[in-house]
Each structure stands twice: as C-alpha cells, then as structure tokens.
Amino acid sequence: MILGAAVLSARSRGALPGPGERRSSPLFGPVALFVFLSVLSALFSTDVVRSVVAVKGLVSFSLVLLVALLVDDDADAHVVVDAFRLTTLYLVLRGLVDWFLLGQDNVDARLSGGLSIYMTYAGLLMALALVLAARALTRGGPAPGRLADGLLAAAATVLVGLTFTRSAYLGLAAGLLVLVVTARPRLGLVIPPLAVLLVLVLPSGVRERAATSFDRNDVTARDRLAMWRAGAVMVSERPLFGVGPGRIKALYPHYRQPGFVEPSVGHLHDNVVNVAAETGIPSALAYLALVAVAALRTWPLARDRSRPGVRALARGALAANAALFVAGIFEYNFGDVEVLRLMLVVLALPFAAARGTEPAA
C-alpha cells in the first residue's frame, strides 16, 4: 500500500515518466532474475505453502524500481541521503544511550539501537557511515553539509566498533579501502596509523573481540563452519531450487553437521551459502550478478569528475556494496530486511542521479 501510494502521488505531480519516456537501471536485470528464481524455488520447495508465504519479502526489491521512477536527478538523490544523515544521527545517539545508560557494553549484551538484533544495527551503521563518508570526501558539495557527514560517519564508525560484531568490522574495513581508492588515494598512507589509534582508544573488550576474527577455535567460528557444511549438503541434494524459501530453520536440525554449537538456526551466516541452500545455485549466481553489476556499472560514475553530486553517490554505493558483500561472507545480511532495503536504495541512487544529470562538457 505504501509503495502504491508513493507511485500514485508521484504520478499526480508529474514525477513519473510519461508513455514515451523509459526509465531503467542496470540493476533491473539481476534483481528481476533473483526474484524470478526465488519464486520458482518456492514452487519446487520442500514445503510449497510455507515457501510461497515466505516469498512475500521479495517486495523489498521493488525499491530499485521506485528509485528509478521517483528520483529525477542528483538533487533528489541527495535529499534521500540527507534523510540517511538524520537516520544515522538517531542511531548514533540511541547507541550512546544503550552503551552508557542501559549497560549494553559487552559481548553478552550488545548495542542494538532499538532494533531487533545487534547485527542489524551494526550493518545499518556500517553502510550509512560509508555513504556519508563518501559525501564528506567528495569536493563540490556545501562545506557545512560535508562536515556534518564526516562527523556522523566517524561517530557511526566508532559505534560499529562498540557492537562487538566482527563481520561488520571486516565489512567496514573493506568499504573504507574502496572509499580511499576511489576518493582519496593519498589517505591510504594514514589509514594504518588511524586504525591503530582507533583500536587503542576502543575498550579492551572490543579489541579482544576483534582479535578473535580469524580464530578457527572460536565457538562462533566453529558454529559457522558447521552451518556452511550443512548448507553444502543442502545444495548437493537440491542444487537447482534449494530447500525452499523460509525452510532453513525447519530443516537445519536434519542437516546439521558435527561440530555444531547451536542446535537450531534461522540462517547459515553467509549470503552465498544461504541463498544457494535456500533457493538454489542459479539464485546464488543472480545475487553475485547483482553485486558485480552494481560494482562494475558504478565504478565509471565514481571516477566522473564532471558531476560531483553523482560521483559522491557512486563512491558511497561502491563502498557500501563492498562492505555488505564482505560482511555477508560471515553473516546473512542479504536476508536482513532493514539492511537489504538500505542496500537496494543506496545501489540504485547513482544510476537515477546520473540519468538526470548530464556530464559537463
């Protein structure tokens, strides 16, 4: 209903394209393919009724279409990012309240920012920090706005550290690396000392948590390996259509492998493994195509010096895409609806902005 109201409102004020105008996005192809394969998987599911109900979540992918329809140029796109700035401010302030007043300051009681789980909170902060940092590092925008973006990005980065979420640590590092390469290559020289400084000022519990990121003997690491092995068995038995959307939790006890820690899980803590196990290998390839197309088609926009507004959006999209992909190696953030919706909007914005903003001569 909300999506329909937005489209009707846009049409009433002439924001939608007319019959002779066609708006597209490079993301349409991989998104449509992923949605089609997911629906097809539901029809071949181990429990068709439950899977058909589960695919209702695919409506989130219509955000790519809505961005193409409703965002006319880079000015519109930056209004959306301005809203992200307010969201980031709220999440940062809420995280500080949780840490200092509610006692969510350890690995057993982690920051959640009022959301359902700390991983969602960390994933949102991670992506938002990179989008705002991209605008702060791109010349051409108003100085006060860039300063506000930079300060909020820095605060969000610190809050990501305080979530004790190692997948977000790795994703944020990957995103910052992409951002430095595209926006300020010379900053690469100061990143290592800044990273060391950040580690030193963070609480000792956070440092200890980060140090276990690649420890195969860590309890959660062992559990993830067991989940991935279970996912591999699911894929080997049902490679084309998987076990069906929404079926991982119910079937995991049957497929779990030696070394597991949690006897029942809702997902397999890896985007590719989970998508392949749930909806099949072709569907997993469609997810990878979405990530690859977004990166390859955004890269030229991130290097376009003639359009600073588009360039800032593209840099943020590139960085957020890399961060979410790397974090998604250890966490199923592609199935986290809040993070997924943010990802789809962020990836779609540069293309909508570029369509309405012609390169300077």
Q: Kindly report, residue by residue over 250-292, the tens digit of the pLDDT.
A: 999 999 999 899 999 999 999 999 999 999 999 999 999 999 9
Contact (Cβ atoms closer than 8 angstroms) between residue 41 and residue 283: yes
Tell me whether residue 336 is in a domain.
Answer: yes
Taking only the tens place, the pLDDT of each residue in 94-108 is 999 999 999 998 888
Q: Is 331 left (phi over 0), alpha (psi -120 to 50) or beta?
A: beta
CA distances from 147 to 79, 113, 160, 225, 238 (A): 17, 24, 20, 42, 51
Tell me whether residue 256 is in a domain.
Answer: no
In whole angstroms, give the CA distance from residue 330 to residue 225.
Answer: 10
Tell me whether residue 245 is in a domain.
Answer: no
Tell me whether residue 18 is in a domain.
Answer: no
Tell me whether residue 133 is in a domain.
Answer: yes
In whole angstroms, give the CA distance from residue 119 to residue 113.
Answer: 10
Amino acid at 130: L
Mean pLDDT of 52-72: 95
Amino acid at 132: L
- Confidence category of residue 1, pLDDT binned at 50, 70, 90: very low
In the chain, how many domains are there?
1
In whole angstroms, give the CA distance from residue 315 to residue 148.
Answer: 18
Q: What number of CA atoms fall less than 13 Å from residue 66's CA on the CB side?
A: 19
Identify the domain containing residue 298 by its residue range: 25-216+268-355
Tell me whether residue 250 is in a domain.
Answer: no
Tell me whether residue 15 is in a domain.
Answer: no
Mean pLDDT of 109-125: 94
Tell me whether residue 5 is in a domain.
Answer: no
